[in-house]
Amino acid sequence: MKGFTLLEVLVALTIIAVALAASMRGAMSLTANAEDTRLKLLATIEAQNRLLELRLAHQSLTVGQTQYDCEQGGIKMSCEQNIKSTPNPFFRRVEVRVSRAEADNPRLLVELLTVMPAN
């Protein structure tokens, strides 16, 4: 007798379905990781841009906290700039935090810290 029985075909199809489901889960995981990496890269670019703006402005850095909306790569983010004094009065500690601008669940993407001249 040639060919396969219906039971053998069903077992083969079940094995293939399980393998495809596992590979789809792996592919979805890779996609989610790639999106998270992209968000962190855009947030890092935004934070670095803000620090460069402060450095190139040559303005006096006043101690205080500022929050503002920012956008990079079409992604809306929320940025927070915090300038603190240091033991040396000629320098200021500058912190820039970038979070995902989601009202229900804001998530910190990146935080950059540096020390700049107070001017």
For residue 110, give its domain range. Answer: 6-117
Structural domain total, the chain:
1
The answer to whether residue 1 sits within a structural domain is no
Q: Per the domain annotation, does 87 fall within a domain?
A: yes
> Residue 34: its pLDDT value, please?
86
- Three-class secondary structure of residue 21 per DSSP: helix
Per-residue confidence in pLDDT tens, the chain, 119 aa? 577 788 888 999 999 999 999 989 888 887 878 888 999 999 999 999 999 999 998 888 999 999 999 999 888 999 999 999 999 999 999 999 999 877 677 789 999 999 999 87
The residues near 64 (Cβ < 8 Å, ≥ 6 apart) are 82, 83
Report whether 55 contacts 45 (CB < 8 A).
no
| Contacting residues for 42 by C-beta, under 8 A, at least 6 apart | 72, 73, 75, 77
Residue entry with tokens 């670095």 = 48
CA 56 to chain centre: 25
Q: Which CATH number fits the domain that encloses residue 12?
A: 3.30.1300.30
Answer whether residue 46 is part of any domain.
yes
In a domain, residue 41? The reply is yes
Distance, in Å, from the CA atom of 81 to the CA atom of 90, rounded to the nearest integer, reads: 19
